[in-house]
Structure 1
Amino acid sequence: MKNCENTTANKHEKKTQKKPKAVWDKPVSKAFYAKLTAKVEKIIDWMLYSTGFRHELMRIIDRYLLDGSCPSYRWCDPAIMGAFCALRAEIDEAIDRSAQARLRAARRRELREEAKKAELPLCQNLQSADEETPLILPIEKSLPFNENTLKIPLPIQE
């Protein structure tokens, strides 16, 4: 009896499929988020807390970035709450900066699209009006060149 594990269908099943790119869902830039993560690591190191507290603080910050919810003093370590409160103003400023940058980018995209739409009909009208005459005339017909006007040295024949 043949071994079914080596068939072509099974080989293709074992291949990993490409994962789609993860969409950035935070309202701040990736650069700011990287700097914020580095700051959190430094703060937790300075407080001599373990990495579990760093994960807890980053979880609180992520939740705040995604839906704006603040942690409760009742369920949060006071030192973690203090670190979050110290970073909160900086996070809010970054959210505002990113929102303004997104608005500016959207306006630039709209202007580019409007410019493309405005240019498109003009180009089509030019082509339709000048269908009989080509836009570029051949050199031989437009300018009377000969070997004297070009001043090209002729090869020496021996």
Structure 2
Amino acid sequence: MPSETSIEIRPLARHDAPALAALMADYAVAMGGAARQPRPEAALRLFDEPMAGLVGAWNGGALVAFALFFDLPEAISGERAGQLDDLYVSPNARGHGLAKALIAHLTEIGRERNWAHLRWLVPEDNAAALRAYAGISEAAPWQSRVIWLRRELEY
């Protein structure tokens, strides 16, 4: 169980790939995917994406949460925007404000980069996440859509 004083939020680096891979495997299951072994090579690929960034929450030397985001051009304003693509908090670390802390960290990155906004998607059936995000954000006036191109990766 995390204590507020023991949590460190920082950008993730390539040497964090094994810890990130373990959380990614847990996240896949949480999203409805099949159980899988951690794949550090998949985590390493995330660090090769030029517009992507990763931040993590550490508790006592263990990675307990991560957020994957993109710094993207935004056509409506002609500025840049942040897109939070994935945020996962391990079950044993939930209920301690880590999702909000990761998002607060991303808003600071966004202010430094002069983003127009930070946006993200929330599964409609995740009531806990929707409640948590209601206090720090507003509902966007759009709906998410998906076309699955590789059915084996569908969740």
TM tier relative to shorter chain: under 0.3
Greater Rg over alpha carbons, structure: 1
Q: TM-score by structure 2 length?
A: 0.20
Q: TM-score by structure 1 length?
A: 0.20
